[in-house]
Structure 1
Amino acid sequence: MQAKTGDKVRVHYTGKLTNGVVFDSSAGREPLEFTLGSGMVIAGFDSGITGMQIGEKKTVHIPVADAYGPSDENLVFQFNKSDLPQDIPFEIGMQLNMHADGEGQVIPVTVTDITETGITVDANHPLAGQDLVFEIELVSVN
């Protein structure tokens, strides 16, 4: 049985950057379960599984456009420290939530730079701008 759009699939995977650094893996956890073609995962991961058979293993190379897209400089923001809460000990790499509008929408951001007078945060997905490599094993198809 080959996996096709609309099927609920379960996969084990290891996600790597092109330099071999692992950024995520299902090792030691339950397989990832989702419906093919539903938009629940990045496009390249979805299309990489389509056509696989149960028990099949393969490596899928996903270009930026089919992963998290290019990094967008419009999603990098600078703030004056004087405009921020003084009780937060900001650190590079720190994850924060930023309110995007008056309607309560919250966007996760990462602190990327700290100066004497301000901080820079990035609202891009941490893997934006990266080509990705996934080792995938199709566990089941329903």
Structure 2
Amino acid sequence: MFEFLIKKLKAHPRKIVFTEGTDPRILEASARLLSGTFLTPVLVGNPAEVQAAAEEAGFNIRGAEIIDPESFADMDKMVALMVELRKGKMTEEECRKLLKQANYFGTMLVKMGYADALLGGATYSTADTVRPALQIIKTKPGSKIVSSCFILVR
């Protein structure tokens, strides 16, 4: 299964958002991905804090993108799109507040095309990872059920 996915990704490299940019498990995964050429990690967090956490954990994340919600250049554009997507359910102020949370910010990075996928759940619950996706990206028309999975490698 993984060989098929890797072959497909090598033909069309992608970017994947990790919402928990300072978590050691995420930093390890990012370092491993950077040794390949098919997935570029996009880490959400303060760049200095992410770099310090990577250094402390002993992982080389050079080449990863680090995007901080606090200094994101297109935040106004992101807020406006989220207000539009939430169609009267949230004010601009509420959207701006939610986008300071990495799970919502990362989901909007995917929605806006800055990344192709998102991985979360190292510190966020499944509900806190899936909720932003359901609110912002939504399900495929005609689909009403979603599922998540865990892949455990021993």
Q: TM-score, normalised by structure 2?
A: 0.23
TM-score by length of 1: 0.24
Larger helix share, 1 or 2: 2
Q: Report the structure, 1 or 2, having the larger strand content.
A: 1
Q: Which has the larger radius of gyration?
A: 1
